[in-house]
Homo-oligomer: A and B are copies of this chain.
Amino acid sequence: MKALLVVAHGSRREASNEEVRKLCRHVEKQAAGEEFFLVRAGFLELAEPSITEGISQCIQAGADQVVVLPYFLSAGRHVSEDIPAKVKKAEQQHPQASIVLAPYLGAAAGVSRLLLELATGGEKNGYSAE
């Protein structure tokens, strides 16, 4: 039973946190019956649940593996140090579960394809600043 925890930075602007939670609900629908039975958001700071709480919630819901995916665009300190440290702590708290750190979003080869798709639809979907 695998769960996915999408980890964002967290924002003082609650709408931004909610945007991540909404994305997770969408990903969960896409993943239904496939790889992940549960897709949740976790936050490094400023929003709930924290990464460790989010991992615990996934395990309490029945996950024996939690994939933690940093929803970040660049490999700064949060991605290279802070999130791995939280994952390590969670591993010590839950020795019976497997906790795996996936690559961060910005590292995905598909990002450039996605940018081109967005940019190419720009005339149709975009808006002028006028």
Q: Give chain B residues whose Cβ lies under 8 Å from the Cβ of A122.
A: 67, 69, 100-103
A65 CB to closest chain B CB, in angstroms? 8
CA distance A85 to B130 in the complex (A): 9
- Which among B74, B110, B127 is the interface contact of A117 at CB below 8 angstroms? B110
Q: Any chain B CB within 8 A of the CB of A20?
A: yes
**What's the tally of chain A residues with a CB closer than 8 Å to chain B?**
58
Interface flags for A115-130 (1: CB within 8 Å of B; 0: not) read 1111111110111111
Interface flags for A26-46 (1: CB within 8 Å of B; 0: not) read 110011000110000000000
Name the residue of chain B whose CB is nearest to the CB of A3: B119
- Also in contact, A118 and B106, with CB within 8 A (given A126-B100, A129-B99): no
- Also in contact, A114 and B118, with CB within 8 A (given A74-B19, A102-B126, A103-B125): no
CA distance A121 to B119 in the complex (A): 27
Chain A, range 62-121, C-beta contacts under 8 Å to B:
67, 69, 71, 73-77, 84-85, 87-88, 91, 99-103, 105-108, 110-121
- Known contacts A73-B105, A102-B118, A103-B125, then 8 further A-B pairs from the complex at CB < 8 Å, ordered by chain A residue: A15-B74, A19-B106, A67-B119, A88-B129, A100-B122, A100-B126, A102-B121, A108-B117
